[in-house]
Amino acid sequence: MNIVADTKQEFISGLTPSSIYLNQEAGIKAQETISTTKLPTTRIEAWKYTRLAKIGKINFSNEKSSLTSIANYNIDSDAFTLVFVNGHYSSELSNTDDYQGFSIKKLSDCDSSELPKSNLKIEGELFNAINTNFLNDGVLIDIPNKSIVNRTIQILHILEGNQTISNFRTIVKAGAFSKASIIQGFFSENAEKSFANNVTEAFVGENAFLTIDKVQSEDQGNFHISTEQIDQEKDSTFTINTLTLNGSLVRNNLNINVNGQNCTSNLNGAYLLKEKQHVDNHTVVDHKVPNCESNELYKGVIDDQSTAVFNGKVFVRKDAQKINAFQSNGNVLLSDNSTVNSKPELEIYADDVKCSHGSTTGQLDEEAVFYLRARGLSEKSARHLMVSAFIGDVLEKVENEAVLSFTSNILRSRFGWNID
């Protein structure tokens, strides 16, 4: 299997294929895809608003690095923390003291038989194929049945150095009746034109509760493309909060397969953009069975010359009756050079459902700003207050206090807002 895939992509020609085999079949598919698929262009519907030419021009490599401190990135200092720099595990920076209630294993130490069957789509998905073929490392989190994990599991991904690519995969097995909360933090240090290509697969078992808080804050000049592939079994609850705070080009593909009845899926996202940032959120909720509920709320503030893209899709398959699916996307444009492209989609093949979606794009209400100013607030603070309240709708869904205060700090330092 150590054949170098014949690639049409210059930008990954310098990489050596991974020695970690998740699954032989997936490996072959990945090689095929890499050798046959071109870098997506805006002619492809899923990439209609996102140009990848910038990524295609860079010649990426992957080096182990010598990062010494994670003080700036430690979202939750009490959490069980794993640190991966450029996709490689750093035992010095990690905090793995006395954990209980789950087992954890690096993918490089795993045998492919230990892994659950992957539902990740590789054919035609170039970045998933690259992730599979050039995997640096990954982690398997196994939460046994009936296990309640009280301590948050934190995985920090840090890019270091220029033109570095990190291909990382997180696999979460949440057993029946288990409960866990995971933070995924994405950062960069002294990095430019570096690229985090990340995949997360989660299997949420019967009656399990799983929450993922995803904080994306790579510096300007860096790229992030990630795919979350979630499978929910009956009576389970899955929540993901995607907070995009920085990064030149960020693309999130969130795919949720609801395979069992009585599931709840919550998808929340906040994206705050300035300068020339480009953030693209694609979500798919696939209701395959009856009696489920999904709630989606994505809100963004777009400033300077930045561009936000939202594409939410809800499928309700034939015979998946009694589905309640709600999808909402709100955008505030703060500058004349900012752009929003929103595409909330519904594809429904069952009749006894309640599905709705809404999308708004606008600016701050001048009358409300006036109201606040009449009460003594400066124009700047009035606007900040209003933006904070707007984004606050999403932030209040985040239950983890550490994530909230970390986010508030970034908002304060990067945007000058006060969100408390």
**For residue 84, what is the DSSP state?**
E
Site string for another protein, 293-332 (x = CB under 8 A): -------------------------xx-x---------x-
Q: DSSP code of 108?
A: G
363 binds another protein (CB under 8 A): yes
**Residue 391 makes contact with another protein by CB under 8 A:** no
Strands (E) in 175-306, as ranges, are 179-189, 195-204, 209-217, 223-232, 237-246, 249-258, 264-273, 278-287, 293-302
How many amino acids of this chain bind another protein (CB under 8 A)? Answer: 36
| Rg of the chain over all Cα atoms, to the nearest angstrom | 21
Beta carbon nearer to another protein, 268 or 331: 331
Residue with tokens 């953030």: 279
Q: Is 409 in the site for another protein (CB under 8 A)?
A: no
Of 168, 155, 136, 138, nearest to 63 by C-alpha is 136
Query: Binding segment for another protein among 183-191, 227-235, 261-269, 347-355 (CB under 8 A)?
Result: 347-355
In the DSSP assignment, the letter for residue 25 is: H
Stretch that binds another protein, among 4-12, 71-79, 104-112, 349-357 (CB under 8 A): 349-357
Q: Which of 113, 103, 61, 111 is nearest to 82 (CA)?
A: 103
Binders of another protein among residues 257 to 296 (CB under 8 A) are none
Q: Is 333 in the site for another protein (CB under 8 A)?
A: yes
Query: Are the beta carbons of 215 and 244 closer than 8 angstroms?
Result: no
- Give the containing element (helix H, strand E) for 382: helix 379-395
In the region spanning residues 49 to 78, those forming contacts with another protein, defined by CB under 8 A, are 49
Please select the residue that binds another protein; options are 95, 162, 291, 339, rule is CB under 8 A.
Answer: 339
- Minimum Å gap between C-beta 220 and another protein is 22
Alpha helices in 203-354 (DSSP H): none
Interface pick for another protein out of 351, 367, 376, 401 (rule CB under 8 A) = 351
State residue 54 phi and psi, 5-degree precision. -55, -40
Q: Where in 293-338 does DSSP place strands (E)?
A: 293-302, 307-316, 324-333
Taking the C-alpha atoms of residue 11 and residue 60, their distance in angstroms, rounded to an integer, is 6
Instruction: Draw the binding track, 27-46, toward another protein (x: CB under 8 A; -: no contact).
Output: ------------------x-
CB of 244 to another protein, least distance (A): 19
Of the two residues 90 and 307, which places its CB atom closer to another protein in the complex? Answer: 307
Element (H, E) at 139: strand 137-143
Question: With respect to another protein, which residue has the nearer C-beta, 100 or 363?
Answer: 363
- The length of the chain is 420
Pairing outcome for strands 80-85 and 88-89: antiparallel
Told to check if 368 binds another protein by CB under 8 A, we report no
Among 361, 368, 393, 408, binds another protein (CB under 8 A): 361
**Binding flag, residue 335, another protein (CB under 8 A):** yes
Q: Tell me whether residue 183 or residue 364 sits nearer to another protein (CB atom).
A: 364
Pair 291, 324: CB distance under 8 Å: no
Of 37, 207, 338, 407, the one binding another protein by CB under 8 A = 338
User: How crowded is residue 383: how many other Cβ atoms within 10 Å of its Cβ?
Assistant: 18
Q: Centre a 10 Å sphere on the Cβ of residue 242 and count the other Cβ atoms it contains.
A: 25
What the block records as the tokens of 75 is 């979202």
Q: Name which position in 64, 349, 396, 399 contacts another protein (CB under 8 A).
A: 349
Residue 416 binds to another protein (criterion: CB under 8 A): no
Q: Which is nearer to another protein, 163 or 339 (CB)?
A: 339
Using rule CB under 8 A, residue 379 touches another protein: no
Which residues bind to another protein, rule: CB under 8 A?
A: 45, 49, 318-319, 321, 331, 333-336, 338-363
